Structure 1
Amino acid sequence: MSEVVEEPAWRRRAVERSTRAAKLRAEQRVQRFLDAAQDLMAEKGTTDFTVQEVVDRSRQSLRSFYQHFDGKHELLLALFEDALAAGAAQVREAAGRHREPLPRLRAAVETLYGQCRPTPGENRPLFSDFALRLLVRHPPQVAAAHRPMLDVFTELVEEAAAAGAVRPGRPRRRAAMVMQTVIFTAHSSGGDDGSAAPVTAPEIWRFCLRGIAVGGE
């Protein structure tokens, strides 16, 4: 039986160093594409831009773009996921300013509602239409993108249930229903055109609370 010769430690270190460097370069290229797309969205006020515009703005090659993304849809999905992850961090931070479970959950609901609503005089958030198309065509991707936000809301619902402030049981399902109510209401509520008075953040909180509070049924 032949003896197995262990790979020298220096060789393993050299390969690992090379792999880390290649990974870092790839991450930097991807970020440049994402930054270019963000700039174009900010300038145009829409997601109506081309892959070539992203490539030109990033000062990279079309070949490099397709090494990292299947197309514009996947680029937008990456931006969508990043936006939701950042939003989840903001919600967690807002909840963290309160000590009691129910005010923490209220802060999360009102912060998410504010993220989904346009500011006065501006259009709806740029990802609104894209998110709706994505929901219809690729529901698993939507679920994966919303997971960080759902994790935050699930923790907050669990805390509130443990404190006796909301009904116990199925916290993740309740968290998902609260999130869906907030997001849908924010996107469909009336706006500046005078067609309907927009729902306020305190209103959406009171509505959600009645659905999950002890004695709320």
Structure 2
Amino acid sequence: MTSVSEEPAWRQRAVERSTRAAKLRAEQRVQRFLDSAQELIAEKGTTDFTVQEVVDRSKQSLRSFYQHFDGKHELLLALFEDALSKSAAKIRQAAAAESDPLERLRVAVEMLYRSSLPNPDVQQPLFSDFALQLLVKHPAEVATANLPLLAVFTELVEQAVEAGAIPAGRPRRRAALVMQTVMFAAFVAQAGGAAEGHAAPVTAEEVWRFCLGGISAPPPESGEQP
């Protein structure tokens, strides 16, 4: 039985070229919106800007904006995810410079804590006002945005386990608990440490020692496998 002939190769190539070109143009338009939003954030020191300001600065149309984003919230989410992805890459690179697996984990914890703290020299409104709003209103999106960081910390926990530096356990869960501890400590510091009642601020080393105590403890006898 004769099979149905496939589409001519020249037609497939033409469609592929067209698709690639359209994808590239879309990516360029999206990047112009992101760059414009980032410039506005740097100038204002806040995420308090309008979609129209972004559109005007990007020299594109409002129609084009809504072809790529549902609104300002989605634009900010894209910036937030991009920032976390870059942070994960920096932490991975810094940790890789250490030969000892436990030292790698220490570097990652302390770096995450410091980068999550308010810095007078580096305005981080995406990690202050918008990040907190996002956490309350869209926790699933926060979890997705944190996946690159979670992957880095999971790998570092696994390496420490393989080296015998910490007991075996569920690496992904333990990595998530470490990240949550570090980020909440930074959040409290941003709030002025009101929950602590201490004059001296918590240091990155203190946060690491606390996390180390947690992951160094033997896992509960629950029968769960890593």
Q: TM-score range by the shorter chain?
A: over 0.9
- Give me the identity figure in percent: 70
Q: Secondary structure at the match of 1:178?
A: helix
With structure 1 as the length reference, what TM-score do the two structures score? 0.93
Please report how far the alpha carbon of residue 3 of structure 1 lies from its aligned counterpart in structure 2 after TM superposition: 5.3
Please report how far the alpha carbon of residue 104 of structure 1 lies from its aligned counterpart in structure 2 after TM superposition: 0.4
Q: Structure 1 CA distance, aligned partners of 2:51 and 2:117?
A: 28
Q: Structure 1 CA distance, aligned partners of 2:174 and 2:192?
A: 31
Matches within 5 A, 1:71-90: 71-90=71-90
Q: Structure 2 CA distance, aligned partners of 1:114 and 1:18?
A: 46
2:206 is aligned to: 203
CA separation of 1:192/1:178 partners in 2, compared to 1, >3 Å: closer, same or farther? Answer: closer
Q: Which amino acid aligns with 1:164?
A: G
2:7 is aligned to: 7
Q: Structure 1 CA distance, aligned partners of 2:106 and 2:44?
A: 34
Q: Deviations over 1:153-177 (max 9, x none)?
A: 0000011111111121111111001
Q: Which amino acid aligns with 2:188?
A: S
- Answer yes or no: is 1:175 the counterpart of 2:178: no
Retained in 2: the 8 A contact 1:191–1:197? no
Q: Which amino acid aligns with 1:92?
A: R
Q: Structure 1 CA distance, aligned partners of 2:119 and 2:3?
A: 70
Structure 1 residue runs without a partner (length 5+): none
Q: Secondary structure at the match of 1:67?
A: helix
- Answer yes or no: is 1:107 the counterpart of 2:107: yes
Please report how far the alpha carbon of residue 118 of structure 1 lies from its aligned counterpart in structure 2 after TM superposition: 1.9
Q: Secondary structure at the match of 1:48?
A: coil
Q: For this pair of structures, how many residues does the alignment match?
A: 217
Q: Structure 2 CA distance, aligned partners of 1:20 and 1:70?
A: 23
Matches within 5 A, 1:15-164: 15-120=15-120, 125-164=125-164
Q: Structure 2 CA distance, aligned partners of 1:80 and 1:58?
A: 19
Q: Secondary structure at the match of 1:189?
A: helix
Please report how far the alpha carbon of residue 119 of structure 1 lies from its aligned counterpart in structure 2 after TM superposition: 2.2
Retained in 2: the 8 A contact 1:118–1:125? no
Retained in 2: the 8 A contact 1:164–1:214? no
CA separation of 1:207/1:134 partners in 2, compared to 1, >3 Å: closer, same or farther? Answer: same
Please report how far the alpha carbon of residue 132 of structure 1 lies from its aligned counterpart in structure 2 after TM superposition: 1.6
CA separation of 1:6/1:104 partners in 2, compared to 1, >3 Å: closer, same or farther? Answer: same
Structure 2 residue runs without a partner (length 5+): 221-226
Please report how far the alpha carbon of residue 5 of structure 1 lies from its aligned counterpart in structure 2 after TM superposition: 2.3
Please report how far the alpha carbon of residue 28 of structure 1 lies from its aligned counterpart in structure 2 after TM superposition: 0.2
Root-mean-square deviation over aligned CA pairs: 2.3
Bigger mean CA offset, 207-216 vs 109-118:
207-216
CA separation of 1:208/1:14 partners in 2, compared to 1, >3 Å: closer, same or farther? Answer: same
Q: Secondary structure at the match of 1:37?
A: helix
Q: Which amino acid aligns with 1:6?
A: E
Q: Deviations over 1:35-86 (max 9, x none)?
A: 0000000000000000000000100000000000000000000000000000
Q: Deviations over 1:67-115 (max 9, x none)?
A: 0000000000000000000000011011011011000000100111111
Q: Deviations over 1:3-45 (max 9, x none)?
A: 5122111110010000000000000000000000000000000
Bigger mean CA offset, 162-171 vs 35-44:
162-171
2:224 is aligned to: none
